[in-house]
């Protein structure tokens, strides 16, 4: 059985939504050299977009490490 420190912690963060159509059917296809920007491809509309990583996802990444 897997135990988490906090009962509200998710095992995996939800995928980012597409800025164009709002779909959650996205995948990360690239990352900037400094690690602050993700390149997303939306599988619903085909749009490629750049999304800045928020401090919330930085905190989630720190919890894992």
Q: Is pLDDT above 50 for 6? A: yes
Q: What is the largest distance, in Å, between two alpha-carbon atoms of the chain?
A: 40
Phi, psi (deg, nearest 5) at residue 57: -70, -30
CA–CA distance, 7 with 39 (Å, rounded to integer)? 31
Query: 57: part of which helix (H) or strand (E)?
Result: helix 55-64
Q: pTM, whole model, 2 decimals?
A: 0.57
Torsion sign over Cα 49, 25, 1, 5 = positive
Higher-pLDDT residue of 27, 62: 27
Among 58, 50, 13, 48, which residue's Cα sits nearest to residue 31? 50
pLDDT digits (tens, 9 = 90+) for 8-49: 666 677 888 898 999 999 999 999 888 889 899 999 999 999
């Amino acid at each position: 059985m897997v135990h988490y420190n906090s009962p509200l912690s998710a095992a995996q963060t939800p995928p980012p939504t597409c800025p164009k159509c709002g779909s959650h059917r996205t995948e990360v296809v690239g990352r900037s050299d400094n690690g602050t920007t993700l390149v997303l491809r939306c599988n619903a509309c085909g749009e490629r977009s750049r999304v800045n990583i928020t401090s919330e996802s930085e905190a989630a990444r720190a919890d894992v490490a």
